[in-house]
Chain A
Amino acid sequence: MTQAELRLCSLLLQEHFGEIVEKVGNSLLRTGPRPLRLLVGDTGLLPDQVKKALCVLIQHNLARYEAQPRGSVEYEARSERILRILRYPRYIYAAKTLYGDPGELLVEELLLHGHLSMSRAVARVADRLTETMEDGKTVDYSEVSGTFARLADTHFIQRCPTVPESPRSAKAPAPPAPALAVAEKDMYVVPRPSLVGKGKRRQLCDKEEEGERKAKRQKREEGTSEAPPDDGIYWQVNPERFHQHFRDQALVAAVASRTDQTGGEVVRTMLRMSEVTTASGASHTQPLSSNEIFRSLPAGYNVGKQALDQYLALLADDPLEFVGKSGDSGGGTYTVSILWGELDLHKALASLATSTLEFGSRCARIFRLLLRKKHLEQKQVEDFAMIPAKEAKDMLYRMLSENLVSLQEIPKTPDHAPSRTFYLYTVNMTAAARMLLHRCYKSVANLVERRQHETRENKRLLEKSQRVEAILASMQATGAEAAQLHEVEEMITGPERQQLETLKRNVNKIDASENQVDETIFVLESFIESTMKKP
């Protein structure tokens, strides 16, 4: 784990779970798997606090535990999973676009709580949806469970590994590894308990708190006098599947920009058809015959069979190899190449953006040139890129120092004499990707820190404005006059308001930047992962 990753994980844990969890997570990340007492010693916290923190981390799948043969239990943090916290908004948004509001809320609840049983998730979401509806309307559980089932069928959520049936006498009953394998085929099986009920709305009375309590007691008495039927079966979000979805989106966008909207739709259809049949990490989808594709095209697109064939042929011939022809049965079978290696260009564009920003468009030109030609000498670079020698040198060295390009030696003579060796510049994709990724982690960490700093600086002002808001709200509820409200509003002076505005604008900008950098992180990470999977 690099320092940058560690720092980012730290910040994310602290922002979302508090300092105690951050300390524990930090200790685990820096020193690897260890048992409880070592953790307590290392962090200097109270044992109870550490236990609580571990429960939280395990609940959210950010750490795991393993029973050691000697009887102690070792805990390990999952750094890659912690970094995913950055991507939570993207997951939720994807669920919204695919499955609407119930989908969005279901994924959000699962992310907020780490894992939930189906009954609880459905109940919570139904309640939330009910609250947003007008008076008198409620949301039925069946609607939400329908969405839940669809999410599970398309693998966006999956079951957590379950505890084995037989009680173990070991001190730490961990779900052993085999249990997970068995659950593979059950992983997306939705239990069908009869979830009967409707979303409950909070009763609003004068004293809102009291009403809240009453409603809660009501809920509890009605619903849960015995253990829910799907006790012990918990669900969690499946980030891999979301990543697959994002990758598909990127592919479709790339194809659409190469050909046109319809071409993009064709590829999207192909991808959708092979969503669940493609093993993760495969380089190609299963071959699909053009007849099948034709049948599965969305209804709105009136693309004739011939046109479809033309598109497929066009895509198959494209040098970028998005689509490959794999056979002729059924009118020609095609596969979509989904290995990120083929999306070199896509990723290169990301690096290009960096080059442009940091180094300028001419550096970007050199970079692209090297990508295309693979190996070039210093002189050739100057010639092909049409850049004066001095500047070309300067840019090349800068890129070299940043590891975006590297030197390849080709000796002419066995003694590797420098005057008789070719030195060729080349782009090493993986190294460049790693370097950029490291930079991205650093940027996000910096952004988060800056945002926290801004918030801290204006803490007093923020608190004051929150108090004023609360007073205003309560006054409005009790029906105060406009003059009184105005008076309360005046408590925040003009310059203070401006300060608040500026703060809000800055924080929003920083947040949006974090989201943006995370997109780049996703592309780079997927690329690096795919290069590591290659045999």
Chain B
Amino acid sequence: GRGRGRGRGQMTFNVEAVGIGKGDALPPPTLQPSPLFPALERRAAPLPGGEEGEYMLALKQELRRAMRGLPYFIKPGAPRRDIERYSDKYQLSSPVDSAIDWNPDWRRLPRELKIRVRRQRKGRTAPLIPKQHVALDKEETIKKLESLEKKEEEVTSEEEEEKEEEEEGKEEEEEEYDEEEHEEETDYVLSYFDNGESFGPDSDDNGDEAVY
């Protein structure tokens, strides 16, 4: 136990050896945690500037900005809104979680990571499976198509075949779709239903805008 009674305050080692002389006042005990922002005794040295530093700074911010735009940056799905609006049907919503927007080499990844997107619309499975000329990497193409479907609204089967022929043999997934080309079931341009939520396009080449 602590030193109680006789010889209170004695330590196990010779206090003088460490430098606390007899009768020296020890600092008072601390009764609270140390302050969150202790006072700065001296200012920090200035950052090294120079061309190299500036360039690396720009690189860093550019990297951050670029990575946000890549498909590797997974944004959580758009939150469900409280009321279903008519324009929702025609919104080009951002890709839903279950689709993967880039094409990894599936040979290098464990099989279980491959996402089998469930089809919500009827009758899709039938026309696709018997097609032999999609054989190259059938699963991959099907998945591509599925993810494309997610980005669009209802697609009829004729247009699917049309899409397939276009997609065949192409390596990269086509992300931007010309809305006028693949319009279905409405005569209106899709942007007609813009409900003003996204104002102003993201300008891609604003290279000199600092990234925050």
A residues contacting B by CB (< 8 A) are: 15-21, 36, 46, 48-49, 51-56, 58-60, 65, 67, 73, 88-90, 92-93, 108, 111-114, 160, 163, 171-175, 209-210, 212-213, 216-217, 220, 224-228, 232, 234, 353, 357-358, 360, 378, 389, 393, 418-419, 421, 423, 454-455, 458, 462, 466-467, 469-471, 473, 503-504, 507-509, 511-516
Contacts and interface: CB of A to CB of B under 8 A. Distances in A.
Contacts of B78: none
B52 interface: yes
Given A51-B112, A90-B56, 9 more contacts: A21-B72, A48-B98, A53-B74, A56-B72, A112-B70, A173-B110, A418-B11, A418-B13, A515-B57
B18 A378 contact: yes
A490 to B, nearest CB: 17
B26 to A, nearest CB: 12
Contact of A455 (B11, B115, B212): B212
B73 A93 contact: no
Given A21-B74, A59-B72, A213-B176, A88 B110 contact: no
Interface of B: 11-14, 17-20, 41-42, 44-45, 47-48, 52-53, 55-57, 59-61, 63-64, 66-68, 70, 72-76, 97-98, 100, 104-105, 107-115, 169-172, 174, 176, 178, 199-203, 206, 209-210, 212
Contacts of B67: 16-17, 112
Contacts of B20: 393
A213 B47 CA distance: 44
A172 B97 contact: no
Nearest to B206: A469
30 contacts: A16-B64, A16-B68, A18-B73, A20-B74, A51-B112, A51-B114, A51-B115, A65-B109, A73-B110, A88-B59, A89-B60, A89-B63, A92-B59, A93-B59, A112-B66, A171-B111, A171-B112, A224-B171, A228-B171, A353-B45, A360-B41, A360-B42, A393-B19, A466-B200, A467-B199, A503-B212, A507-B212, A514-B60, A515-B57, A516-B48
B17 A418 contact: yes
A470 B203 contact: yes
Nearest to A223: B171
A306 to B, nearest CB: 35
Contacts of B68: 16
A17 B18 CA distance: 52
Given A378-B17, A470-B200, A470-B201, A163 B108 contact: yes
Nearest to B136: A227
B179 to A, nearest CB: 10
